[in-house]
Amino acid sequence: MPTEPHQLPVAQLDTVEPDSTILRRFEKWMLAGASTEQRSDPAHRERVRNVGIGTVVATAGFAGEAVEGLRIGVPVVVISGLAVATLFVATLLFLRSSQRFSLAGHIVLSGVFVATCSNLLFTGGFTNPAIVALFILPIGAAILIDVRASLG
């Protein structure tokens, strides 16, 4: 019988002291659209938790980027930061209802790529040190999206 919180079915999560109450509530919220089989699969629940937390952190990061763009007076950075943060929230809602990780991953990485390119285009181009992000994005894509999902 599993004793770790991430190994228990969703219905039994309330009976175990979790690492964090917020994480438990977030996991239960994200699993609302999952089938019973998916809810009982520890690997699926861990994937939901990891993708959800990563998306929330990235949303906060791009919202912070929008605030920084407002502070320095570059409207394109504000618009792209808010657009990507909104896209991430919409992707999180889509992921909750559909549980389609590869499509959600494609949407998130596409949003990051478009935001990075637009920011580079309007804030210095090749002279901007953030150009390194264009080399890091494919590595992130390779890690987050498996080969089978990226081919079709």
3-state helix, strand, coil in the chain (%, to 5): 85, 0, 15
Q: Which residue has the tokens 């019988």?
A: 1
Residue 142, judged by CB atoms within 10 A of its CB (0-12, 13-18, 19+), counts as exposed
In tens, the pLDDT along 49-92 reads 777 777 888 888 888 888 988 998 888 888 888 888 898 889 88
| Residue 62 pLDDT | 86
Residue 17, judged by CB atoms within 10 A of its CB (0-12, 13-18, 19+), counts as exposed
| Residue 145 pLDDT | 60
**CA-to-CA distance for 34 and 57, rounded, in angstroms?**
22
In tens, the pLDDT along 87-108 reads 888 988 888 888 887 787 778 7
Any idea which of 14-18, 38-42, 64-68, 73-77 has the lowest mean pLDDT? 14-18
